[in-house]
Amino acid sequence: MQNIAEFRIIGRIGSAEIKDKVAFLDIAANYGRKVGNEWEDDTHWNRVTLFGKNIARAEKMGKGDLVHATGRVRQSRYERNGETVYGVDLIVDRIAVIAKNGRPADDQHDDDA
């Protein structure tokens, strides 16, 4: 049996940082949370990393687009000033636009991935 660590995020793009060989998207996902007798949205921001053909896809996406991203979780570790620093990277394998700023996306799925 293969061991895996993976993620799935459905949320709206808040910002994008596109570079030559890597892209980063900040995606907001909302969860319901009960506060007293009322339900409120509890927004969680997730920074995902894209490589290869997913960079070209990210270039076509904009702030507010609803996206579905899946991929693998990678833990990183390095030394800084004698201390070990741990981090978690969310590496996108597949990403698709569900809606462009509130309008359904047409033909944005990545069936060739």
Query: Quick one: tokens of 5?
Result: 């660590």
Per-domain residue ranges of the chain: 6-104
Pairwise pLDDT comparison (43 vs 103), residue with the higher score: 43
- pLDDT band of residue 2 (cuts 50, 70, 90) is confident
Could you read off the pLDDT of 46-100 as tens digits, one per residue? 999 999 999 999 999 999 999 999 999 999 999 999 999 999 999 999 999 999 9
pLDDT of residue 87: 94
Domain 6-104 CATH superfamily: Nucleic acid-binding proteins (2.40.50.140)
- pLDDT band of residue 106 (cuts 50, 70, 90) is low
Residue 113 has pLDDT above 60, yes or no: no
pLDDT of residue 4: 86
**Mean model confidence pLDDT for the chain:** 90
